[in-house]
């Protein structure tokens, strides 16, 4: 599978499994755990999680799914903004490591901007990195002006900015993505299926039919066709976990990309970054 280089020089896989809404309900636990284990069996190279998801429940399930594996995927997790002080970030990371029963998180992100000065969070990330508890660090839900401010406060971000980006939400293409490309920072696209809302679109369905793939695969293949972009669709069903991975093999022609541009036009002016 392809990977993307981060500012640190380390590589990040272009595709992974999301885990938001997992670990919240006892009734769904067995199915969710099965979906994560199945993704790992299929060699999903990356898992995205956060201390927020299921209040630690998603990280615990990731830990359970990883138990006994010899080759583990690239792990992404996130710290809550209200925990992101110097000492709070370190303590939150240690709790996440414990829940996942791993010694290191490959990419650790500030989940969104909060009240803690960015320099404090960055200092904590650097300390965690020195201690070998995380390999790289980054942010999430940062718009272009946040990235400019971050780089003026502290230009040491080694990883990514994880944001809402998909066919139906192309706002980041206007200014955020050009800024990130100029700084060689890959973008991690979350909610690449717009949480399923995208999949009923008539053009997407028709084009997918022509290409003999599913609308979800086409939506994911489009995200993956954008330079410097990686993505992390979530599913708790085996069929969809497998279906979504199939998107990695799909190459889109210039004609298909142009038809998608007509159905989902790129932004003509600044749109503030949306968040889910
Ligand atoms: P998503 O991946 O766009 O969509 C997930 C939804 O689509 C689920 O309801 C899933 O249902 C359904 N689905 C998945 N594959 C499908 C398929 N092949 N056909 C039809 N429906 C399908 O949305 P997301 O979970 O919001 O985003 C992905 C990940 O990004 C999250 O899980 C999380 O890890 C991360 N994220 C981060 C932030 C942030 O603030 N940093 C915010 C949102 C998300 P089933 O599960 O029933 O299959």
Report the pLDDT value the prediction gives residue 104, as an integer from 0 to 100: 98
Angstrom CA distances, 245 to 50, 127, 250, stand at: 22, 35, 10
Choose the residue to mutate in 25, 139, 196 for probing ligand 1, maximizing ligand atoms within 8 Å of C-beta: 196
Predicted pLDDT at 42: 97
Residues of the chain with pLDDT under 50: none
- Model pLDDT, residue 154: 79
Distance 126 CA to ligand 1 centre (A): 30
Classify residue 228 as left (phi > 0), alpha (psi -120 to 50) or beta: left
List, chain by chain if needed, residues with CB within 6 Å of any ligand 1 atom: 18-20, 48, 111, 140-141, 162, 190-196, 199, 216, 232-237, 240, 243-244, 276
Give the model's pLDDT for residue 155: 78
Atom in ligand 1 nearest the alpha carbon of residue 198 = 3
- pLDDT score recorded for residue 1: 87
d(CA 264, CA 240): 24
Residue 117 CA, ligand 1 centroid: distance in Å: 30
Query: Which residue's C-alpha comes closest to atom 30 of ligand 1?
Result: 190
CB neighbour list of residue 218: distance below 8 Å, 6 or more residues apart: 204, 207, 208, 211, 247, 250, 252
Instruction: Determine the atom of ligand 1 nearest the C-alpha atom of 216.
Output: 18
**DSSP track, 160-200:** -EEEE-BTTB-GGGTTHHHHHHHTT--EEEESTTGGGGGGG
Note if the pTM is more than 0.85: yes
Q: To the nearest whole number, what is the mean pLDDT of the chain?
A: 97
């Amino acid at each position: 599978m392809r990977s993307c280089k981060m500012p640190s020089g380390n590589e990040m896989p272009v595709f992974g499994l999301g885990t938001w809404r997992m670990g919240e309900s006892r009734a769904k636990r067995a199915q969710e755990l099965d979906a994560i284990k199945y993704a790992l069996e299929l060699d999903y190279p990356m898992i995205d999680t956060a201390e927020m998801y299921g209040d630690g429940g998603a990280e615990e399930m990731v830990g359970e799914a990883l138990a006994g594996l010899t080759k583990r995927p690239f792990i992404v997790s996130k710290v809550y903004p209200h925990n992101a002080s110097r000492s709070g970030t370190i303590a939150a990371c240690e709790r996440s490591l414990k829940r996942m029963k791993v010694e290191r998180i490959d990419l650790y992100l500030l989940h969104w901007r909060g009240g803690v000065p960015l320099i404090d969070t960055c200092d904590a990330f650097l300390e965690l990195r020195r201690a070998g508890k995380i390999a790289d660090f980054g942010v999430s839900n940062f718009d272009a002006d946040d990235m400019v401010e971050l780089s003026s406060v502290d230009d040491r971000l080694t990883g990514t900015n994880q944001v809402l980006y998909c066919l139906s939400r192309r706002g980041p293409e206007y200014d955020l993505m050009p800024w990130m490309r100029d700084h060689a920072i890959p973008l991690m696209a979350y909610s690449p299926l717009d949480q399923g809302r995208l999949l009923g679109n008539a053009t997407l369905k028709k084009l997918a039919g022509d290409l003999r793939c599913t609308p979800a695969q086409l939506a994911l293949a489009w995200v993956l066709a954008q330079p410097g972009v990686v993505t992390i669709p979530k599913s708790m069903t085996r069929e969809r976990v497998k279906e979504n991975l199939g998107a990695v093999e799909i190459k889109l022609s210039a004609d298909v990309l142009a038809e998608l541009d007509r159905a989902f036009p790129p932004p003509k002016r600044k749109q503030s970054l949306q968040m889910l």
